[in-house]
Amino acid sequence: MSRELGVGIIGCGNISTTYFKLAPLFKGLKVLACADLNKEAAEMRAEEYDVKAQSIAELLDNDELDVIVNLTIPAAHFSVSRAILEAGKHVYSEKPLTITLEEGKALQKLAKEKGLSVGCAPDTFLGGAHQLARKYIDEGSVGRITSGTCHVMSPGMEMWHPNPGFFFLEGGGPILDLGPYYIANLINFLGPVKRVAALTSMANKTRTVTSEPLKGQVIPVETPTNIHALLEFANGATITLSASWDVWSHRHANMELYGTEGSLFVPDPNFFGGVVEASGRNKTIEPLEPWDHPFGILNQESPQGPRANYRTAGLADMAMALIERRDARCSLERTLHGVDVMTSILKSGEEHRFVELTTTCTQPAALGIDEALALLR
């Protein structure tokens, strides 16, 4: 296989600019074309980023493309990824891979039959902060992790996203939208999950958009917006995960992991950077010595201040994995397991019982400084 893969993008909305902007940082990727149901959206991005705008059919048929990135809305992920595989191309999807486990398994079967790869975001667990936490755990610095808590809670999405309706339909909700970041990071730290239980609810059956351009529009809520889940990992660790869009403010940390020798405080798994803190048995919480991980370097301004953003690293790792014939960190096996965890959480909420997972996966290989540098141009 050549040392560079031709990349096409389907779905030219909000997140696509991140992929267009950041893909050139990485080896092995050349973005050549894009498509969208909305022709103007594809044409606008094509002009902005100097690629070819095509119809979806033309893009699927484009011989220059080896991998197509699926940046459509969650409810379209399955049909679009299936069409990409049927067209004989590898897929890299935004999260969630699919909104049901059955769809994810169907993609797995098709990919296997076709000898193609499927990768999926999130790739934020490859960030400098999360890989530092991973190294600290792997070195045994907090002993064996036995438990932990994760909290991702806010008032919602309708105050910032230009078209927030999909977040509140089946396939949206905080567990399928933000859960992937937490679950991928927990798999990075602890490996696969064995069973889950959850209580789920929604504060309101409709929400009013306050962002432009749809300000004032009332949108239906058809999926739980408040989830309290318990996760038992195959290694015995037990984690509480609260994901909610019904909370105006709170004082919980994003992710805390408790080990037999100390505790680890992990920054927001939705981002690549941040400060990792830890304590030993002396209970003094201190920041870990920062390291020169390339995916922790601040490279972007945001309303909250400068941040590290290396989204597309997972796609680059998948491209290099195809070239080098190795396991991709954001692999189908791991992301399918993530879908199993999230959909089982929702099922537990509906059925009021523990749900055993039917899939499993391996922990991804750590991505140290050298491995991360090897992905960059």
Ligand X SMILES: NC(=O)c1ccc[n+]([C@@H]2O[C@H](COP(=O)([O-])OP(=O)(O)OC[C@H]3O[C@@H](n4cnc5c(N)ncnc54)[C@H](O)[C@@H]3O)[C@@H](O)[C@H]2O)c1
Closer residue to ligand X, CB minimum distance, 11 or 191: 11
**In angstroms, what is the minimal distance from the CB of 244 to ligand X?**
17
Closer residue to ligand X, CB minimum distance, 179 or 259: 179
Closer residue to ligand X, CB minimum distance, 69 or 145: 69
**In angstroms, what is the minimal distance from the CB of 135 to ligand X?**
25
Q: Which amino acid is at 348?
A: S
Q: Which helix (H) or strand (E) holds 17?
A: helix 16-22
Closer residue to ligand X, CB minimum distance, 14 or 302: 14
**In angstroms, what is the minimal distance from the CB of 77 to ligand X?**
6
Which residues contribute to the site for ligand X (CB under 6 A)? Answer: 10-16, 36-38, 41, 56, 71-74, 76, 80, 94-95, 163, 177
Task: For residues 157 and 166, give the distance between their C-alpha atoms in angstroms, rounded to a whole number.
Answer: 10
Q: What are the structure tokens assigned to 44, written together?
A: 């606008």
Cα–chain center distance at 13: 17
Task: For residues 271 and 348, give the distance between their C-alpha atoms in angstroms, rounded to a whole number.
Answer: 28
Q: Pick from 125, 181, 120, 77: which is nearest to 315 by CA?
A: 120
Task: For residues 12 and 8, give the distance between their C-alpha atoms in angstroms, rounded to a whole number.
Answer: 11
Closer residue to ligand X, CB minimum distance, 94 or 103: 94
**In angstroms, what is the minimal distance from the CB of 327 to ligand X?**
23
Residue number with the smallest Cβ distance to ligand X: 13
**In angstroms, what is the minimal distance from the CB of 163 to ligand X?**
5
**In angstroms, what is the minimal distance from the CB of 339 to ligand X?**
13
Closer residue to ligand X, CB minimum distance, 180 or 262: 180
Task: For residues 144 and 72, give the distance between their C-alpha atoms in angstroms, rounded to a whole number.
Answer: 39
Query: Who's near 167: CB < 8 A, 6+ residues apart?
Result: 156, 157, 158, 161, 173, 177, 245
Q: How far is CA 366 from CA 184, 188, 189, 275, 362, in A?
A: 13, 8, 9, 18, 12
